[in-house]
Amino acid sequence: MFDNSERTELQELGEFGLISHLTKHLKLTNQSSSKGVGDDAAVLDFSSKKTLISTDLLLEGIHFDLAYTPLKHLGYKAIQVNLSDIYAMNGTASQVTVSIGLSSKFPLEAVEELYSGMILACEKYNVDIVGGDTSSSKQGLVISVTSIGYADEKDICYRSGAQENDLICVSGDLGAAYIGLQLLEREKQVYLENPEIQPDLEGKDYIVERQLKPEARKDVIKLLHELKVKPTAMIDISDGLASDILHICAQSEKGCTIYEEKIPIDPMTYDTAREFHLDPTVCALSGGEDYELLFTVKQADYEKIKNHPDISVIGHITEQSSGKNMVSKSGVVHELKAQGWNAFKKD
């Protein structure tokens, strides 16, 4: 895709030269992509479908640390976290626009690495890059991705549709991304104290990958369609299980009860959390960045999902006055609190 072997300063290309260089090999694969990069705006045609749009902003030093985040992984992740929002609406992602702000420390080859990760994610998920922008930045690397998708109106899932007695379900397992971050932060500190010591990540591939290279759960949406199960409410787990189930409860004006013993936690996540003297359940509740899907279904759909290894039923929706609670493994009832990611929380 990109074959430069030496450092190329961005000023040699200029803004428009950089855009041309990064996008000249892009190919449109979706029928809805009528016109992509090259004009003042992309042209999309979704016929009778409803259009879904979501945007995420990633800032160096806030959302990622380049000390341990490879640029190719960062590009891949930037796309995935946006696609996840479209799937959380029970939709199909089809296009993205990509805008980046770059400081002078980045040569062309670094930007190529970032962009190649984005292209890899788009190719894997059959998504077209149809536009964006570039700019210089004095604040480090800035990435803004807008994801675009579509769905039939009858298929769209909102956070507000949960009903009393609906089952609460999650895909995959939780807490791994947070524990992966703790591991990377630890190794960074070790390196800063002694640059001669190599990072010790042996045997921890799964949790490191969950932090650096998450996968949006398009496969779960496909599975639910095949099972003929339409969630009554859905959200992706970006801020932590507790925060995101509270979003559903707030929008649906309902309460909830979840059970600690039902929360899916991978053994590597569990064991590594204990190594850090962390409670694995707290990591699952408040860690965030898992990008799994949290959704509610009618009890009548239980037989369709109960035996699927990638879906866990962790509780049920209650009337609003019952509160939002978790029943611990010992049977103690705890109030759920939003302690996950908060972009404006003071350190």
Task: Convert the pLDDT of each residue in 15-52 to its tens digit.
Answer: 556 656 656 666 777 777 655 555 555 566 788 888 99
pLDDT of residue 1: 66
Q: Report the candidate in 159, 164, 158, 161 with the shortest Cα–Cα distance to residue 320.
A: 164
Task: Convert the pLDDT of each residue in 64-105 to its tens digit.
Answer: 999 999 999 999 999 999 999 999 999 999 999 999 999 888
Helices (H), 40-152: 71-87, 108-124
Q: Report the candidate in 247, 246, 51, 225 with the shortest Cα–Cα distance to residue 148.
A: 51
Quick one: pLDDT band at residue 347, thresholds 50, 70, 90? low
Q: Taking residues 255-265, what's their average pLDDT? A: 98
pLDDT of residue 55: 87
Under the phi-then-psi rule, with left for phi > 0, alpha for psi from -120 to 50, and beta for the rest, what region is 65? beta
Residue 130 tokens, joined: 């149809």
- In the chain the domains, ranked by start, together with CATH numbers, are 10-155 (3.30.1330.10), 159-335 (3.90.650.10)
Other CB atoms within 10 A of residue 83 CB: 29
Name the average pLDDT for the chain: 90
CA dihedral for 57, 142, 145, 187, sign (positive or negative): negative
Task: Convert the pLDDT of each residue in 138-169 to its tens digit.
Answer: 888 999 999 999 999 999 999 999 999 999 99
Q: Report the candidate in 63, 255, 232 with the shortest Cα–Cα distance to residue 159.
A: 232
pTM, 2 dp: 0.88
Task: Convert the pLDDT of each residue in 188-242 to its tens digit.
Answer: 999 898 888 877 788 999 999 999 999 999 999 999 999 999 999 999 999 999 9
Residue 11 tokens, joined: 């000023």
- With tokens 């611990």, the residue in question is 328
Task: Identify the residue with better confidence: 130 or 341.
Answer: 130
pLDDT of residue 197: 83
pLDDT of residue 195: 86
Q: Taking residues 109-113, what's their average pLDDT? A: 92
